[in-house]
Structure 1
């Protein structure tokens, strides 16, 4: 069974020098450490894919935390990260594909960088990590990025982001650093925010204005599939200026991935929400293991035809990836 994993991460050398992607394991730089796996875009990554039964990875810059950068530094480092990833894709064209990293604080430059990487490097879209300056993608400042993605016919992958400091303090503090951090991010907070990000885009009417815009959400749809009927009941009647109800936009413009969510109930909810044509396999490597992801997808309750779509056909179609 061919497997294309579509939310797989690395940390570029320029960002690593700024302290991004550090291993929580107290400086562990062994071959199996998170730091090493994030920084490896060569044979070590390919070997890990082979061991886990992964044929292709669509690779993106990891989420950055606690890194203070000027807008100029962001632009420079994003371009360098994209060039570094492009070199790795060129070296392993049958194993790697790339998502662009964009300097979102300067949307015009971000749009130009998206075009540069898609046209020049063959990237298949871009990953956007959370909000920018506390603003979601429905803010008018980001129209150039959305328009350019639609024009280029490539998707934007909305990945969870670390919450703004005021939100983090108000909502998630009070239980000790580790519990606070988990509540704010991996166990709840950033998934809820990513789902809100998607709903704000729908409510803004952007898909009526840009009918070719495509969005990818990880983690089985960032809670929306579980809530979709209630969202339709309470939000759709209020968005009367839109051409369709909320579930219509979710089914037509969003693709959901399995990244880091290897549970059958969320998987069934994702399938029920958007159908087998809009669900894709992902591992969330190296934060989750290739072996765990492969084992999960081999044992889900799906027909052989749907399983083919989920494991590789949908990614081939959405990203224009070759079967070779």
Structure 2
């Protein structure tokens, strides 16, 4: 390999100022930072906690070296769980602003290596819209990162329509990530099934709400990326399309059959199976798929290029699209 060439649209980022703000002001929301693990700080929110966070999440020099080792040229930075939806309005907005400012600073320091996907305090749509307007003007902000639900509220909720309108008007794509997934703590509580199964099913639920709830019809130029190779949705598209034909619950909002919306979404490559990625490419087209790594969690592929360049049976043209061309267009790089 001559040099890093991949653009990773699913790369997580926890700036230190976000952690520090939780440490200082998170207690009223039952949030704190536990620094007892030598592997790194842990975010504790009520009864849940993150894995220890290695400094690679915020140290840009370490991150660039890690990217170089696996042939990744650009990270689209994004905050992930627990995000900011748990915080009261003012704190939520300040947490989001801290993350977005740090992303923009990373871009200014290394404009060829980092862009940012803004975090918004979606639990308060008015504050979210204000932060969208502010963050969209920051150098390097190229998208918006949203949970698949907002404290249990689905993305088809009319309260979120102004956010989608703002993203569409600013040509900022929306990238989704599972958060507070359905069934967590019940039958998914053991064997890490909340991640293995809960995450892909929550992504499918979010996609179904965007289609059946009419969001994609209302905002025809809105770009939406589904993580983890679309979650369960691409593999249930036949069931969803059939159900729409025969069930009255789906009538009256979506203008087209469910499967006609497949190419309204883009998808990352985190399928962990070459055959699954080949299926996805065959279903939606190579021009709708982009590299993702879940950097740097253990549930992501350590070498995200490999499934594209050596795993799946893809043409050289399709590999080039998936490695970088699609993301350059999607993120306006």
Report the TM-score, using the length of structure 1 for normalisation: 0.87
Structure 1 residue ranges, 4+ long, deviating more than 4 angstroms after superposition: 19-25, 65-68, 288-291
Residue 44 of structure 2: aligned partner: none
Which structure has more helix as a fraction of its residues? Answer: 1
Count, aligned residues: 307
**RMSD of aligned alpha carbons:** 2.5
Output aligned runs, 1:1-324, within 5 Å. 2-17=5-20, 18=22, 26-29=37-40, 34-40=53-59, 42-64=60-82, 69-163=87-181, 167-173=183-189, 175=190, 179=191, 182-184=192-194, 186-238=195-247, 239-241=250-252, 242-251=254-263, 253-259=264-270, 261-288=271-298, 291-299=302-310, 300-321=312-333
Query: How big is the shift at 1:213?
Result: 1.3
Q: For 1:116, what is the secondary structure of its paired residue?
A: helix
- Structure 1 distance, partners of 2:72, 2:240, is 35
Contact kept? 1:51, 1:291, Cα under 8 Å: no
The 3 A distance-change label for structure 1 pair 172 and 113 is: same
Cα distance in 1 between the residues matched to 2:314 and 2:245: 30
Distance across 1 between alignment mates of 2:104 and 2:245 = 42
Taking a change above 3 Å as real, the CA distance of residues 230 and 38 of structure 1, as seen in their structure-2 partners, is same
Shift of the alpha carbon at 1:194? 1.4
Question: How far apart are residue 223 of structure 1 and its match?
Answer: 1.0
Q: Residue deviations 1:227-281, cap 9 Å, x none? A: 1122211224544433211111122x1000013x331122022112211110111
TM-score, length-scaled by structure 2: 0.85
Segments of structure 2 that go 5 or more residues without pairing to the other structure are 24-30, 42-51
Contact 1:23-1:35 within 8 A present in 2 as well: no
Greater CA deviation, 191-200 or 106-115?
Answer: 106-115
Q: CA deviation at 1:162?
A: 2.1
Q: Given the superposition, is the C-alpha separation of residues 248 and 207 from structure 1 closer, same or farther in structure 2, using an over 3 Å criterion? A: same
Any conservation in 2 of the 1:220–1:256 contact (CA below 8 Å)? Answer: yes
Instruction: Output the CA distance in 2 between the equivalents of 1:130 and 1:232.
Output: 21
Structure 1 unaligned segments of length 5 or more: list them.
none
Cα pair 1:161 1:194 within 8 Å, conserved: no
- Structure with larger RCO (C-alpha < 8 A, sep 6+): 1
| Structure with the bigger percentage of strand | 2
Q: What secondary structure sits across from 2:154 in the alignment?
A: coil
Q: Secondary structure at the match of 2:77?
A: strand
Judge conservation of contact 1:5–1:54 (CA < 8 Å) in 2.
yes
How far apart, in 1, do the equivalents of 2:114 and 2:301 lie? Answer: 15
